[in-house]
Structure 1
């Protein structure tokens, strides 16, 4: 009865007073006193929490002000976002603990070192990492962070003293500064003085791309394992510095929902996660339930969400001896919005998040020894698993591509995974790994389970539904050779730091230079050459100079008739080699074995001028991944061309236009303009659902193949699960690649691993050589796919190209740039950009 009365009060209060001033007492526990010398959020940011959406600069200002005012708080700036915003961390604990913080940290880390067979946890503080709003347009978390930080700084009494004495709180007030600021600007600029709760109001309907993502439109909640973004790298460094026992991740969901806390759906927990992890998660959930019952807020658990993909913030701790907790609050997406549960106000969503933050700390202190012991046992048990594992190490590398090998090793380094150079060549699984180009990862180390999670290939699952991807086998993502060995005899010196593998120029030549297309950063090298107005050509047949063999796709830069002197060319190439890791061979003659350097089989390469379509009808994350790749990896300028401006844009400026995944009909009015662009010599590249539009508009003729799925013995209640089981949420498939085709330039194996999260299948061309990329008969490498779709995908094609006038239309069914960590297929896009007209 009390719960119902409380809910009615909340509804009536905000329905009639949505514009009235909110008091701090609405949020804070009232049975304790607060230090008047600690500034409230309102006194610093200029408004009461929940009255407006806090911008990131005001959030930072408050956190810095609080740290100056309270000896319970220390603050550090761990880096910058892409837009230059600080990535802050507050460490909150007792004054006594602050004075001994390093010794406390060192003692705590002994729990994750299995060589320590006896650690006393009775007096050890529990470590809780509290993080807010990794999705910028889910801001109730970050705004609740204002309150939580104030409470921890200002609350007085025995209870708070005990909490601070027994807890180290790592406080991340904004997981996504750029996205949070973008969203705050949107809703604040559209707020009415008399608040409109109509869902159709502009305030509640962001323009493209929305505030969810970071600067390059990445969903950062998928980056914890692969750590490709600066925000992730900063917090992963903190995570491993402390190894927290609990990590919380405050999100929002649909307006008509209530509040979710974990555990999620039991059958969708990753098998490498100990069962005790989920039991402890459920026990922590009892504290949340008690707190929400007290304030009358509805909630649910063990539905919708799961703990499978370790790249999410709420799941990453589970493979590192901690407990990850996901919170999902129904979103007002502004200041007050009508919902199925009545008027949903921003202050109400903030109060729920604040309540969950405090109930987490209550659980942490009450379960302190249990959580600390669990962490200790996690690593002891992992040590025991190592002793039973016949595979004592994993070897990885690529002798032809030091760039992506280096990036893979850097990723391991960020995750505190130890590895060594090979001391001698080793062959495993039929693949030879050479000492100069490969590394070996011993299984016997603290992060054994995370290594297993990174390298595993899994095709059998308890459940057929996944909240995120079902596979992420990282060496496959990087297109790296890897294998297992039962011996460490080839392990050489341990790697303590990694240096980027700089390239070199063999000699100063007055004739020509050549370089292979194998290295990851060759597109950056070639673009820099072309940007400096040097002519370059690509070899469409192999050749040899001395003992050195040059494959399809090798690049030639002649010295004669260039706009630079031979000395200037040499100096430029040395700079490029240093920055890209590409080796240049200075040659003195055009005579070779195979095609000579003056052969017409060397085709001129044009400097690309690239536009990526953005805006309404385009999937922002897919477009952002392309923008990020070109801008940050290869330093190639890219024009972000809004779909609403297509009809007014001069498309003749561009050599290449890229359409990532599309939806709706936003491109229809530009059909004729895009066709003219292609017919006049342009290259149009389409991804995923853009293929259907390109086929419908007669840019290319595609023969789509459908799965034959029949619902048998499926009840009405089972219909959603039945349909969900036919979704490919993210799995890895094997394709054959024709190394003589321009799409295959730079690859050295005739098989490639492709990531796929679509059910878009295309039948192959009857002419074999027109299928340079084709899925194999047994295509599944890792992840979940239904039997029907597995039967459908075999021998279909993920790539097709067709001429139109003087130009080319090139299409991919799969994302070659997925989440910035799918290094192994980035070159497919770059080949389409540089060599598209040769296809």
Structure 2
């Protein structure tokens, strides 16, 4: 009793020392009236850490634009002095650490993430109020919560996007607010502040970790593994506040304790909102299924992951809603602060329940896997290099087979149960591991979708995304394994005739990028060629001494560039075993791309960003980016490749004519998604919705008949009926023309991630390199109407026009940067298709 009394006295004394803690309004001019600069946010948190013993900072990284990424630990001083012990205790409770300390047992970790979308800025504004209230010496409630709670507060996940939006809003702001809808502060300019530097949506990147912010954040997140994670968002300013429970579909692996806490939270937050007559909704729009959100990823790691949403996008500083009321920055941050503080309070009050549920989630999943399958086997190929990198980022354990064996299991590529051989170096991933649930969510071939009204893509099976033959096995395979694949060192002779680089993953494209930039000539194989024991597959790169007579110290120079590709090799003769000599027509000399990419108004920001990131980061290849409005100022003949990201291109007839002439004279266009409409039904191009007049008339007749039937349908079922013609994001089987460069290296078939309803019949007078066959296989939700329409439609085609070509891409193979086989397909289009 004396110890408790002494602790209370010490706690009270500590608060009294810092009794003059400034509020955000006292520290930042116009707080709640104007967006804060990011440096002001950092300054306020710096002030708090200097003035209070209850907060500690940790910088965990930097953005692409060199802004700091920070988290702040908030708790009582005794807990902050024992953070490492508390962290290890938490990990030990779920089998991730063997360092356990009884003196710090029973602490709950609540992680708060704000502003993953930069233009949802009330999140970061509210983070300052949340921090103040947790530290406020006069707040008796927070003192109680923090006794056994560690709050990890990330005030801004996306500082680059937040700053882009904030700088713009301040630039267009006058002294008066303009709540009317048509003021420019309600009309954000392209590309907007929602996304990060490369215009990626960081809220879709938790599992894939393609972006620097995600990689750095997930590293520290997985070192802590909180019990509760709150992701603070905004949505359209007319929308009432959203908080849990979430809408269906909820993934079947979500435990009852997680679902129960969503209900507890909903009731507790609702009580606060009811007291203030604030509008809200639950269980309507935001589901828990796609694994790469800021709510689902934590949930699949045992936390109660949740999203909260305040109406505010497009509101600027103040806007009049459709109900006639005005919503201000102050309103938005106040609602968020009340919600987030209620989350902390609820978690503290439910601490024992949450800790037990969290522990059972992990330990029970290891004892008995939740899903159907216990082991996943992926056949050895070069694309495993990127897959295992993604697994490492997520702390998912894997090994390689070190023996041979025979098993039976579900084959992802055929959707059949088959017998197969396990061979040395095949990848083995078991469900019985610390990240058991996340592993199964990512690998399970058939995700159970209990409601087709999903908010995002509904399939992501990793073997299909990475283009590797995969099997899901119901039992735990017992086979000898090893941790790494040993790669034998290459002894390069003094005189090499040519080097060979297989074309089979993104590293191949990275190598070709480096070779082109070094001015080294490269050839690519059109058909299989054999030189002694070396087999060169279609697409394989040949760097010969004959093509590069001016390259000093040829062997050393080339090997230093291509060494990042561990499976490279060399040949000592140009004479092939199968009549495919190096000097013959089988080996085509590749042209180094000179790339122009258009940007600006009308172009989908994230689709442009995916292309930009691929060029700038994935293959580090130079690109000129020009606003579409400035296209008239560009001399097209200085480029040989034009990339048109998804979007609406309002080109004049004169500009179209210039583009036509440029293509005829050897230019190559890569047109993606909506951008293909520039060429649809135009003279000289093959792109048409229908293969014949009869097909068009048949489709129009079916549409008219459907309209007549709709007259008798009720209004209530409108939304449900609409999804019959939708495909929010599903995996679709494609056939390949394996003889054409666009298909090189992709394997025996290609599984595309289709995210729109666009479909074109197989094109006449063009190369249908990748197309959806009749009776195709699919994963995820595909509406009944669209499912029928996709039979025998083209996904990727090449339309030759004069000396040039147009490559049509119905979908973006670089979507979100994680579809690894799509990255290779785009590399084919960029480098191999002439």
TM-score, normalising length from structure 2? 0.90
How far residue 131 of structure 1 moved from its aligned partner, in angstroms, is 0.6
How has the CA–CA distance of structure 1 residues 669 and 346 changed in structure 2, closer, same or farther, with 3 Å as cutoff? farther
Classify the secondary structure of the residue corresponding to 1:704.
coil
- Structure 2 unmatched ranges of 5 or more: 1-14, 408-417, 691-698
Match of 2:305 among 311, 324, 331: 324
**Does the Cα contact within 8 Å between 1:559 and 1:566 map onto a contact in 2?**
no
How far residue 122 of structure 1 moved from its aligned partner, in angstroms, is 12
1:771 is matched with 768
Answering whether residue 608 of structure 2 is matched by residue 627 of structure 1, we say no
How has the CA–CA distance of structure 1 residues 671 and 781 changed in structure 2, closer, same or farther, with 3 Å as cutoff? same
Match of 1:492 among 473, 477, 481: 481
1:272 is matched with 253
Classify the secondary structure of the residue corresponding to 1:802.
strand
1:648 is matched with 633
2:285 is matched with 304
**Does the Cα contact within 8 Å between 1:734 and 1:751 map onto a contact in 2?**
yes
How far residue 622 of structure 1 moved from its aligned partner, in angstroms, is 0.8
Q: Distance in 1 between matches of 2:245 and 2:210?
A: 28
How far residue 182 of structure 1 moved from its aligned partner, in angstroms, is 0.3
How has the CA–CA distance of structure 1 residues 390 and 732 changed in structure 2, closer, same or farther, with 3 Å as cutoff? closer
Match of 2:460 among 465, 472, 487: 472
Q: Distance in 2 between matches of 1:502 and 1:77?
A: 40
Q: Distance in 2 between matches of 1:667 and 1:656?
A: 20
Q: Distance in 2 between matches of 1:471 and 1:371?
A: 30
How far residue 698 of structure 1 moved from its aligned partner, in angstroms, is 4.1
Q: Distance in 2 between matches of 1:471 and 1:444?
A: 23
Match of 1:344 among 317, 322, 327: 327
**Does the Cα contact within 8 Å between 2:371 and 2:440 map onto a contact in 1?**
no
Superposed CA deviations along residues 206-234 of structure 1, whole A, max 9, x for unmatched, are 11110000011001100111111121122
Match of 1:684 among 669, 675, 684: 669
1:353 is matched with 336
1:3 is matched with none
Q: Distance in 2 between matches of 1:448 and 1:755?
A: 25
Q: Distance in 2 between matches of 1:565 and 1:724?
A: 59
Moved more, 773-782 or 680-689: 773-782
Classify the secondary structure of the residue corresponding to 1:777.
coil
Answering whether residue 183 of structure 2 is matched by residue 164 of structure 1, we say no
**Does the Cα contact within 8 Å between 1:269 and 1:306 map onto a contact in 2?**
yes
1:560 is matched with 546
2:717 is matched with 718
2:345 is matched with 362
**Does the Cα contact within 8 Å between 1:464 and 1:725 map onto a contact in 2?**
no
**Does the Cα contact within 8 Å between 2:642 and 2:668 map onto a contact in 1?**
yes
Question: What does residue range 735-746 of structure 1 map to in structure 2 within 5 Å?
Answer: 735-746=734-745
**Does the Cα contact within 8 Å between 1:679 and 1:807 map onto a contact in 2?**
yes
**Does the Cα contact within 8 Å between 1:780 and 1:790 map onto a contact in 2?**
no
How far residue 647 of structure 1 moved from its aligned partner, in angstroms, is 1.8
Q: Distance in 1 between matches of 2:319 and 2:652?
A: 32
How far residue 502 of structure 1 moved from its aligned partner, in angstroms, is 10
How has the CA–CA distance of structure 1 residues 120 and 735 changed in structure 2, closer, same or farther, with 3 Å as cutoff? farther
Moved more, 389-398 or 55-64: 389-398
Q: Distance in 1 between matches of 2:492 and 2:401?
A: 26
Q: Distance in 2 between matches of 1:743 and 1:411?
A: 26
Superposed CA deviations along residues 233-276 of structure 1, whole A, max 9, x for unmatched, are 222222222221111111111111121112222x3112222244
1:784 is matched with 781
Question: What does residue range 376-391 of structure 1 map to in structure 2 within 5 Å?
Answer: 376-386=359-369, 391=373
2:579 is matched with 594
How far residue 563 of structure 1 moved from its aligned partner, in angstroms, is 5.4
Alignment: residue pair count: 792
How has the CA–CA distance of structure 1 residues 433 and 636 changed in structure 2, closer, same or farther, with 3 Å as cutoff? farther
Classify the secondary structure of the residue corresponding to 1:690.
helix
1:526 is matched with 512
Answering whether residue 814 of structure 2 is matched by residue 822 of structure 1, we say no
Answering whether residue 129 of structure 2 is matched by residue 132 of structure 1, we say no
**Does the Cα contact within 8 Å between 2:207 and 2:297 map onto a contact in 1?**
yes
Superposed CA deviations along residues 401-444 of structure 1, whole A, max 9, x for unmatched, are 1xx312211211222211112211345545545423x3211221
Q: Distance in 2 between matches of 1:634 and 1:584?
A: 21
Q: Distance in 2 between matches of 1:508 and 1:715?
A: 79
After superposition, the CA RMSD in angstroms is 2.7
Q: Distance in 1 between matches of 2:547 and 2:679?
A: 41
Answering whether residue 448 of structure 2 is matched by residue 450 of structure 1, we say no
**Does the Cα contact within 8 Å between 2:459 and 2:779 map onto a contact in 1?**
yes
**Does the Cα contact within 8 Å between 1:655 and 1:683 map onto a contact in 2?**
yes
How has the CA–CA distance of structure 1 residues 582 and 609 changed in structure 2, closer, same or farther, with 3 Å as cutoff? farther
Classify the secondary structure of the residue corresponding to 2:218.
helix
Q: Distance in 2 between matches of 1:279 and 1:187?
A: 40
1:246 is matched with 228
Answering whether residue 622 of structure 2 is matched by residue 616 of structure 1, we say no
How far residue 468 of structure 1 moved from its aligned partner, in angstroms, is 0.7
Q: Distance in 1 between matches of 2:373 and 2:432?
A: 10
Moved more, 826-835 or 347-356: 826-835
Q: Distance in 2 between matches of 1:431 and 1:519?
A: 24
How has the CA–CA distance of structure 1 residues 329 and 666 changed in structure 2, closer, same or farther, with 3 Å as cutoff? farther
Q: Distance in 2 between matches of 1:132 and 1:300?
A: 20
Q: Distance in 1 between matches of 2:41 and 2:685?
A: 51
Q: Distance in 2 between matches of 1:70 and 1:427?
A: 62
How has the CA–CA distance of structure 1 residues 578 and 771 changed in structure 2, closer, same or farther, with 3 Å as cutoff? same
1:83 is matched with 65
**Does the Cα contact within 8 Å between 1:514 and 1:587 map onto a contact in 2?**
no
Answering whether residue 754 of structure 2 is matched by residue 756 of structure 1, we say yes
User: Any runs of at least 4 consecutive aligned residues in structure 1 with deviations exceeding 6 A, and if so which?
Assistant: 118-123
Classify the secondary structure of the residue corresponding to 1:206.
coil
Q: Distance in 2 between matches of 1:139 and 1:247?
A: 19
How far residue 314 of structure 1 moved from its aligned partner, in angstroms, is 1.5
How far residue 564 of structure 1 moved from its aligned partner, in angstroms, is 3.1
Q: Distance in 1 between matches of 2:315 and 2:561?
A: 47
Q: Distance in 2 between matches of 1:818 and 1:812?
A: 12
How far residue 814 of structure 1 moved from its aligned partner, in angstroms, is 1.6
**Does the Cα contact within 8 Å between 2:378 and 2:470 map onto a contact in 1?**
yes
**Does the Cα contact within 8 Å between 1:735 and 1:751 map onto a contact in 2?**
yes
How far residue 586 of structure 1 moved from its aligned partner, in angstroms, is 3.9
Q: Distance in 1 between matches of 2:749 and 2:86?
A: 50
Q: Distance in 2 between matches of 1:469 and 1:108?
A: 33
Moved more, 410-419 or 753-762: 410-419
Answering whether residue 429 of structure 2 is matched by residue 441 of structure 1, we say yes
Superposed CA deviations along residues 584-628 of structure 1, whole A, max 9, x for unmatched, are 314244454321111123221111111222111111111110111
Classify the secondary structure of the residue corresponding to 2:132.
helix
**Does the Cα contact within 8 Å between 2:504 and 2:745 map onto a contact in 1?**
yes
Answering whether residue 186 of structure 2 is matched by residue 204 of structure 1, we say yes
How has the CA–CA distance of structure 1 residues 65 and 677 changed in structure 2, closer, same or farther, with 3 Å as cutoff? farther
2:537 is matched with 551
How far residue 132 of structure 1 moved from its aligned partner, in angstroms, is 0.5
